[in-house]
Structure 1
């Protein structure tokens, strides 16, 4: 399994956040929530197509909240990764001299 304590790739790439969603398993609930929200929105459209109007609003609201919650989860998780990266860079100042931060 991936090392989730520090999901940033410091040594093998100049783009340390490339593939972050695959390395950091703590973002998976956010991705799953977005996927379930999309399924719920598809269910809302299907219930409208089959004229089951009592389910249209319910599934649309559930889908919207699931997508919003998933996006919020991903944002919070990315901020956690950035905080871990700042701590790592504070402990390894020589890396900053070799690879300056992009502007």
Structure 2
């Protein structure tokens, strides 16, 4: 797969883990239904710290993720409501596949 692999890490408020899991899952469903540039998203929950969630996302480029994707109404709505269930902003990093290893 070419393009960008985006790793997004969230920390839920301890008392809002179930809400965070539900809201992140709803956001993923919206992105996958509405944004054709998204090549897939996997949500992981830390086995030893259930308040930690990581998304592995596939996009054609970092610019697509940071530009059109971040301007979508469902993303902006999530950002506005996230303070109710997340401990802070996500950590976002960009990766690319390395072939032949």
TM-score by length of 1: 0.29
Structure (1 or 2) with the greater helix fraction: 1
Structure (1 or 2) with the greater strand fraction: 2
More relative contact order, 1 or 2 (CA 8 Å, 6+ apart): 2
TM-score by length of 2: 0.29
